Structure formats: C-alpha cells, structure tokens
Chains A and B, each alone.
Chain A
C-alpha cells in the first residue's frame, strides 16, 4: 500500500471512530468483497443492510475507497440471458433488511484502484443521498460505511 493510500485509510478509520453512526438507522453487516485476479478491473461486494429505524430508507448511492465507480445491480433473466440491471434506488423497509448476495442484488465495483488482494480491508459506503460525481467514500454526512474483507467465496 502506498503511503498516501495508507494515510487516506487511516483518516477514514479515525473518522469512523470519532463519528460513530449513532445517527444512522441503516447498519451494514457481513460485508465482504470477492477476491479477483490482480489484473481485474471489476469485482462485486456483498452485505446485508438492516434498517433499525421506524421509517423506510432508500439507498441512493454506493461508494468504495477501492473503486472509482460503484453501483448496485440486480440480475434479471429474460430470453435465456441473464442481465445485470443497475438499480438507482434500493428501498430498505422499516425494521427490515436487504441482502446483497451473489446471483442477486450486489454492489458492482468498477475500475478497481487499487485491486484489493485477498485479506485486504476495503471501505464500503451506502448513502441515502444521490451520488455526487467524484465524491470519495467516507466523506458524505449521510452515508453509512463498513469495512469489508476481501476473500474467496
């Protein structure tokens, strides 16, 4: 890891500690990122989002410190083809949860930078506000983040 990347990660870790997500009603659990070859440009992240509040919440953007672009996709099967369809919004019902898992809803991570290795920790964030272009992960007031481990399925 370069010094800059390490410094950035430390800053994010500190931010996570000093700003506990007490305000957040969304909780990310069981987060992991699929380990892919070092020359990959994409991978997928999986986790469960639990809504502890009494009102439904909508995930409008996702971000990661390891990918230049991230989106939530779902699989749709039609005409013998499986198609990934970008989800602009994902609703998490009050007191309920949404599960992102292989073969279903998943978080797409495009243009990995750097490509995380098995065992690495990656920051994943979900935001109830729509995406702002170029905004790094961990810097929006309305997002909830979690560290995910990169591993083989």
Chain B
C-alpha cells in the first residue's frame, strides 16, 4: 500500500516538475501593447518646433505629464526618470528619450521649459501647446488634470491636481507600460532594456 502511495506521489511530482520546466527556459513575456492610450496630437517642443506622434518614432520614450510650478512630485519624478536614463549605457541612451509634457501652457512656454528642463538634462524634451492642444493630448493618454482654486491675491500661485503616471513608449510610439510616479527604478530600467 505504502509503495503504491509512494509511486503515485513520485509520478505526481514528476508531472508537476514537467509542467514547471518549460517556464525555466521560456523567454521573458513581452510587454503588451496598450491600444487604448495614445493617438494623434500636435504640440511644440522646447525650441518652439512642432512635435507630433511621428517624433515619438524610432526611439523609446519615457513620458511624463506635469507642470513646472509643481514643487514635489513633478521635479522628483523628472529627476528619478532622468536618473534611470543616465544609468543606461551611452549606446542605450541614444535610443531612449525623456519627454516632459506640460499641462500648464500659460506658464510653461517653450523658452521657460527649455531653461527648466536643462537643469535635469539638456536632452530632455519638453512639450507644450495651446490649452486645447494640451487637453487633446492629455485625453489621448488618459491624463487627468484640474487647475485648483487659489486664495484671493494668490492667483499666480495656482496648482493642479493631476494623475502622475510615467509612460513607457516603444519605438513605434505605442504605450507599453504605465508606472506610478514612485516607480521602482530597477523595474523601469529592466523594462526599458527589454524593449531595446
């Protein structure tokens, strides 16, 4: 009886192992393409040049929506995203661009963005546009932002409440993954490398 139980256990163990084995040799699963986010948009970059979906092609993009007067999450996320980019080898860096999209075109003009972003790295691309252009691009990427009320006399200090995802886009400009602003740097860099 015991022998029979032992044999059955052994067969089950072997069967279970045989199920697990292929997983060992299988390559990493590819990041799925998010077909709901993205779409057409028309913006200008920090040099005032038009920037559209075609400019997201050919390189991976790490894209983030925010505003420069944001004191906490936006500069922290920009600094960390640029930090991940700097961890790549020089050759990999040439294939990855960091894109900051402002939803505060009133204050974030191209010239202002250029000076602001150079502090993090002169290679960071800054996008802005008319209020309508910004709203349209934000809609495409499922970004929500809302200008908050200010106290009387403090109108120039207005802030936004906003979603805070970092988007990983592939060489075709397709969204492959969303990261929370407090992302794990190692996870992000591994995902970037998996697409290179």
A2 to B148, CA, bound (A): 35
Within 8 A of A (CB), among B112-139: 112, 115-120
Is B163's CB under 8 angstroms from A38's CB?
no
Tell which of A6-14, A23-31, A56-64, A75-83 binds the partner: A75-83
What sequence of 0s and 1s flags, for each residue 92-109 of chain A, a beta carbon within 8 Å of any chain B beta carbon? 000000000011001011
Is B71's CB under 8 angstroms from A34's CB?
yes
Is A34's CB under 8 angstroms from B76's CB?
yes
Q: Does A69 have its Cβ within 8 Å of any Cβ on chain B?
A: yes
- Tell me which residues across on chain B come within 8 A of A80, comparing CB atoms: 144, 163
Taking A69-B154, A83-B148, A152-B79 as contacts, is the C-beta distance between A37 and B69 under 8 angstroms? no
Write the nearest CB–CB distance from B77 to chain A, whole angstroms.
10
Q: Does B196 have its Cβ within 8 Å of any Cβ on chain A?
A: no
Cβ-closest chain B residue relative to A83:
B161
**Residues of A within 8 A of B (CB-CB), count:** 28
Is B119's CB under 8 angstroms from A37's CB?
yes
Cβ-closest chain A residue relative to B69:
A42
Is B72's CB under 8 angstroms from A84's CB?
yes
A40 to B157, CA, bound (A): 12
What sequence of 0s and 1s flags, for each residue 43-72 of chain B, a beta carbon within 8 Å of any chain A beta carbon? 000000000000000000000000011111
Write the nearest CB–CB distance from A34 to chain B, whole angstroms.
6
- Tell me which residues across on chain B come within 8 A of A84, comparing CB atoms: 72, 148, 159, 161
The answer, among A41, A69, A81, for a CB contact under 8 Å with B162, is A81
A106 to B76, CA, bound (A): 13
Q: Does A36 have its Cβ within 8 Å of any Cβ on chain B?
A: yes
Q: Which residues of B contact A (CB under 8 A)?
A: 68-73, 75-76, 79-80, 112, 115-120, 144-146, 148, 154, 156-157, 159, 161-164, 181-182
Sample of 19 further A-B pairs with CB below 8 A, known A34-B72, A37-B118:
A37-B68, A37-B120, A43-B75, A75-B72, A75-B73, A80-B144, A81-B146, A81-B161, A81-B162, A82-B73, A82-B161, A82-B164, A83-B161, A84-B148, A103-B72, A106-B71, A108-B72, A109-B71, A152-B79
